[in-house]
Amino acid sequence: MNDVTIYHNPRCSKSRQTLAMIRDKGIEPTIILYLEDVPNSDKIKELLSKLGLAAGDILRTGEADYKAHMASAATLDDDAIIALMTRYPKFIERPIVTCGDKAVIGRPPETVLTLF
């Protein structure tokens, strides 16, 4: 099996549940605490490619800081949204799990099972 990586926030219940499901499959993933080890723009673009999504699709618009700093991401292109995510990593939807050339967002956590 290809290496499995989870972009994890241990304070998030969905992220913890997703990690537990991966481990229940006997897999010990690489854990990236993305709020501390912030992915750069190239890494975010790679994740988006694996997810098959646009940057706006993984933007957490409900965050209080998002509301304070942004009126609307609808007027921003992908590069501007990615730049925003590198500055404010908590705006990135979580958890993101990668396996080879595929990735999923663990919402709901059971979504991760489609990778295995």
* Residues catalogued as catalytic: 12
What is the distance between the alpha carbons of residues 77 and 111, in angstroms, rounded to a whole number? 27
Within the chain, how many helices (H) and strands (E) appear?
A: 4, 4
HSE of 48, CA atoms in CB hemisphere, 13 A: 20
Alpha helix stretches (DSSP H) within 3-105: 13-24, 41-51, 64-69, 78-87
Helix-helix angle 78-87:41-51, to 10 degrees: 120
